[in-house]
């Protein structure tokens, strides 16, 4: 006997074709929505019970999902508060959005399913993405309530009548259509549940599974086992972010991490997030061992809303540089299902960004302060991340100035202020700029490094993929500071203290040696200069101007607007040391061939020191050397 027929109150066109048409991309979320509703209904029952407003037995809370392949149905049931017929009318029939007009306007712009569903509270109606007909059987917790049923075949017509349910709670039955029969496979449903429901606060059961259980001993005294059917509970994970940090041990955090990322190395450390005001957010963020493959590590943060998995694309919600972190963020205040552009301008999202950045900075500052040694040991991993944050987020940089470390070639670590104090006395040039020297490759630039060290200069190690950017960033930010690669010029010019070194050569001799070198060097892009350097310096040094080299490095990394530099041929400076004994020797050599060979040899040695001597040039160097010895 049908009690009531009616029409779902959307007075524009039929909503279901819209739902089906526009909600194509992620059909699977219907299950997330229905299971969430079921959990909510149970949580409401528990809350009422705790307020003393619930009469009768609350029983063991359970959400059950069942698939009947023959009947082509999926059923989601719960023992929550249930609904009366009036409540069905109120909550289900009057689709919970402010106005159908607005909806019809907005759906045109919507790009994916979740956008419509979240924005307009269509959670329940997402069932129609996969089902042609949906049925609700429900019995309210309220004393004397009658069971009610609701069916709808995907038109705007529905029917409400007396239901059949005998126990409190709700059952939603989906008659799955042929296009969506993939959802009638147990494996598919189980994997969707595992994805979205792993950490839900109420047990979610999907059928049963067999387990073996001890069953006494056999005749020989060996233990026997028997197969037993046990409920297959999906959400066995412990959502540790909901537990107070004081109650958690190190092992709990590690176990949780291993559960989230079974194939990863253990993390370095973690931050437990917990805010109530001005927004709600909980979570645990882990610092992974980053190494150098930044790209691989992204998209590892999972976003939850009240323990329901939403997405692992947290771009825009988490600051860009924190995308390298792993872990879980849970916030009911993030507008989960709206478009990206909306997210970026959302004030809660901005506050969340600021909060997370501050927490991360706090944690790093604390680690640095409380145990500098272990902080230094972890710097190899933390460094990339701190540098990334420093470059990309001015607020973070303000904090990071205190805990960003510079490492030198001797593996000593300095804060920015410590380093300045260390090098300022000996590395200040005639204009008052403190010059920091660095090497991206201590192996290859050993000669330059040793020469610099001999002069009492310190050399920083800058060999991470971000260091090019980080160096520019430091230079922009630190006052009266220049940063130069250790091979950017001859040592005397690298830090120009304005000390004039007298020349051993007459003007004529200077011209002559320049001439000799210009003839001897056949490679393109080499500009010869004669310089008055100390007699201990190399006779010939090949350098590339710091600015030029940096532009080329940036161009190679794909920096915007830099391609101009990338296409320019390399240009090097060949500095001939006027004061080196070898230069005097070359000039006094009367045999033209020997003179050329000596000049060539000194040039090749300079190339060799730069790692630039390769191919035929290397071969002829080896041959010439053989002859000479
Ligand atoms: P939302 O969950 O965003 O409010 P839904 O369309 O999913 O929107 O559900 C509308 C309403 O229907 C819910 O707020 C709730 O009052 C009621 N409802 C849905 N599912 C259940 C259920 N399993 N048990 C009790 N009430 C339910």
User: In the structure encoding, which two tokens stand for residue 218, read together?
Assistant: 């056999």
The pLDDT, as a whole number, for residue 99 is 42
Q: Choose the weakest-confidence range: 336-340, 360-364, 482-486, 513-517.
A: 336-340
Give the residue with greater pLDDT, 3 vs 121: 3
pLDDT digits (tens, 9 = 90+) for 280-308: 899 999 998 876 555 556 668 998 988 98
Query: Which is the closest atom of ligand 1 to the Cα of 95?
Result: 6
CB-based burial, 476-509: b 16+ in 10 Å, e otherwise: eebeebbbbbbbbbbbbbbbeeeeeeeebbeeeb
Give residue 340 CA to ligand 1 midpoint distance, Å: 26
The CA distance from 37 to 183, in Å, is 19
Specify the residue for token string 């306007």.
105
**Residue 569, Cβ density class (10 Å: 0-12 exposed, 13-18 middle, ≥19 buried):** exposed
Give the residue with greater pLDDT, 20 vs 222: 222
The pLDDT, as a whole number, for residue 561 is 57
**Mutation test residue for ligand 1: of 41, 91, 117, the one with most atoms within 8 Å of CB:** 91
Is residue 35 within 6 Å of ligand 1 at its C-beta? no
Give residue 513 CA to ligand 1 midpoint distance, Å: 90
The pLDDT, as a whole number, for residue 24 is 47
The CA distance from 399 to 229, in Å, is 56
Report helix, strand or coil for 98: coil
Q: Choose the weakest-confidence range: 49-58, 99-108, 488-497.
A: 99-108
Q: Give yes or no for residue 114 having a pLDDT over 60.
A: no
Is residue 267 within 6 Å of ligand 1 at its C-beta? no
In this structure, which residue's CA is closest to atom 11 in ligand 1? 91
Q: Give yes or no for residue 342 having a pLDDT over 80.
A: no
Instruction: Tell me the mean pLDDT in the region 352-371.
Output: 92
Q: Give yes or no for residue 514 having a pLDDT over 70.
A: yes
The pLDDT, as a whole number, for residue 271 is 93
pLDDT digits (tens, 9 = 90+) for 86-108: 999 888 876 643 344 555 555 55
What fold is seen in the domain 3-205?
Answer: Heat Shock Protein 90 (3.30.565)
* Architecture label for domain 507-628: Up-down Bundle (1.20)
Nearest-10 Cα torsion for 98, 104, 110, 115: 30
The pLDDT, as a whole number, for residue 352 is 85
Is residue 139 within 6 Å of ligand 1 at its C-beta? no
CATH number for the region 405-494 comes to: 3.40.50.11260
Is residue 170 within 6 Å of ligand 1 at its C-beta? yes
Is residue 92 within 6 Å of ligand 1 at its C-beta? yes
The pLDDT, as a whole number, for residue 332 is 84
Is residue 416 within 6 Å of ligand 1 at its C-beta? no
pLDDT digits (tens, 9 = 90+) for 197-211: 999 999 999 999 998
The pLDDT, as a whole number, for residue 82 is 96
pTM of the model: 0.76
Q: Quote the distance between the C-alpha of residue 536 and its chain's center.
A: 49
- The CATH class given to the 244-376 domain equals alpha beta
The pLDDT, as a whole number, for residue 312 is 83
pLDDT digits (tens, 9 = 90+) for 162-198: 999 999 999 999 999 999 999 999 999 999 999 999 9
Q: DSSP assignment, residue 408?
A: B
Average pLDDT of the chain is 86
Q: What are phi and psi of 283, to 5 degrees?
A: 160, 170
Query: Which is the closest atom of ligand 1 to the Cα of 81?
Result: 25
The pLDDT, as a whole number, for residue 493 is 87
Q: Give yes or no for residue 616 having a pLDDT over 60.
A: yes
The pLDDT, as a whole number, for residue 26 is 75
The pLDDT, as a whole number, for residue 112 is 53
**Mutation test residue for ligand 1: of 8, 30, 31, 37, the one with most atoms within 8 Å of CB:** 37
Instruction: Tell me the mean pLDDT in the region 610-629.
Output: 88
Is residue 456 within 6 Å of ligand 1 at its C-beta? no
The pLDDT, as a whole number, for residue 53 is 86
Instruction: Tell me the mean pLDDT in the region 537-565.
Output: 75
The pLDDT, as a whole number, for residue 23 is 54
Q: Do domains 244-376 and 507-628 have the same CATH topology?
A: no
User: Which pLDDT band holds residue 254 (cuts at 50, 70, 90)?
Assistant: very high
The pLDDT, as a whole number, for residue 100 is 46
Give residue 91 CA to ligand 1 midpoint distance, Å: 7
The pLDDT, as a whole number, for residue 125 is 81
| Pairing state between β 2-7 and 148-152 | unpaired
Q: Where do the domains of the chain lie?
A: 3-205, 244-376, 405-494, 507-628
Is residue 202 within 6 Å of ligand 1 at its C-beta? no
Q: Answer whether 510's CB lies under 8 Å from 503's CB.
A: yes
∠ CA 10-86-165, nearest 5°, is: 115
User: Which pLDDT band holds residue 13 (cuts at 50, 70, 90)?
Assistant: very low
CA distances 150 to 72, 87, 216, Å, are 19, 11, 51
Kindly state the percentage of the chain with pLDDT values over 90: 53
The CA distance from 458 to 373, in Å, is 21
């Amino acid at each position: 006997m049908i009690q009531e027929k009616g029409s779902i109150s959307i007075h524009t066109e039929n909503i279901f074709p819209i739902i089906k048409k526009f909600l194509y991309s992620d059909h699977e979320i219907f299950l997330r929505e229905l299971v969430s509703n079921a959990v909510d209904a149970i949580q409401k029952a528990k809350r009422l019970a705790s307020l003393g407003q619930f009469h009768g037995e609350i029983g063991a809370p359970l959400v059950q999902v069942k698939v009947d392949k023959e009947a082509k149905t999926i059923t989601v049931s719960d023992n929550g508060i249930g609904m009366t017929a009036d409540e069905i009318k109120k909550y289900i029939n009057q689709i919970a959005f402010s106005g159908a007009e607005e909806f019809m306007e907005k759906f045109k712009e919507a790009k994916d399913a979740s956008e419509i569903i979240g924005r307009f509270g269509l959670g329940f109606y997402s069932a129609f993405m996969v089902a042609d007909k949906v049925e609700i059987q429900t019995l309210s917790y309220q004393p004397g309530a009658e069971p009610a049923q609701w069916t709808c075949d995907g038109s705007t017509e529905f029917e409400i009548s007396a239901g059949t349910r005998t126990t409190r709670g709700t059952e939603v039955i989906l008659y799955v259509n042929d296009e969506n029969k993939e959802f009638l496979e147990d494996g598919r449903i189980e994997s969707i549940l595992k994805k979205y429901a792993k950490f839900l606060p109420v047990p979610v059961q999907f059928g049963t599974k067999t387990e073996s259980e001890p069953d006494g001993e056999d005749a020989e005294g060996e233990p026997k086992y028997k197969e037993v059917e046990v409920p297959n509970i999906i959400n066995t994970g412990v959502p540790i972010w909901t537990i107070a940090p004081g109650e958690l041990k190190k092992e709990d955090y590690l176990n949780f991490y291993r559960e989230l990322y079974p194939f990863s190395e253990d993390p370095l450390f973690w931050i437990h997030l917990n805010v109530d005001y001005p927004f709600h957010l909980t979570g645990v963020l882990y610092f992974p061992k980053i190494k150098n493959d930044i790209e691989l590590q992204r998209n590892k943060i999972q976003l939850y809303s009240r323990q329901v998995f939403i997405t692992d694309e947290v771009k825009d919600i988490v600051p860009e540089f924190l995308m390298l972190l792993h872990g879980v963020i849970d916030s009911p205040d993030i507008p989960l299902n709206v478009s990206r552009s909306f997210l970026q301008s959302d004030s809660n999202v901005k506050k969340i960004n600021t909060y997370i950045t501050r927490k991360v900075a706090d944690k790093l500052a604390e680690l640095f302060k409380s145990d500098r040694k272990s902080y230094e040991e972890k710097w190899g991993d933390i460094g990339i991340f701190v540098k990334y944050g420093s470059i990309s987020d001015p607020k973070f940089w303000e904090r990071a100035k205190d805990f960003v470390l510079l490492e030198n070639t001797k593996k000593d670590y300095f804060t920015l202020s410590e380093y300045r104090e260390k090098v300022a006395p000996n590395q200040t040039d005639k204009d008052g700029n403190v010059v920091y020297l660095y090497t991206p490759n201590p192996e290859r630039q050993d000669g330059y490094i040793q020469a610099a060290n001999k002069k009492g200069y310190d050399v920083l190690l800058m060999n991470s993929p971000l260091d090019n950017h980080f160096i520019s960033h430091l230079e922009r930010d630190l006052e009266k500071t220049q940063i130069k690669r250790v091979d950017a010029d001859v040592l005397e010019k690298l830090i120009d203290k304005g000390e004039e070194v007298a020349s051993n050569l007459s003007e004529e001799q200077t011209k002559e040696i320049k001439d000799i070198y210009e003839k001897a060097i056949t490679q393109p892009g080499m500009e010869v200069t004669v310089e008055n350097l100390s007699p201990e310096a190399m006779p010939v040094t090949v350098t590339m101007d710091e600015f030029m080299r940096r532009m080329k490095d940036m161009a190679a990394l794909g920096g915007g607007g830099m391609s101009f530099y990338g296409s320019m041929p390399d240009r090097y400076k060949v500095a001939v040391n006027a004061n080196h004994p070898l230069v005097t020797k070359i000039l006094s050599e009367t045999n033209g061939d020997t003179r050329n060979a000596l000049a060539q040899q000194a040039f090749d040695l300079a190339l060799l020191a730069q790692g630039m001597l390769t191919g035929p040039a290397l071969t002829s160097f080896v041959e010439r050397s053989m002859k000479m010895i």
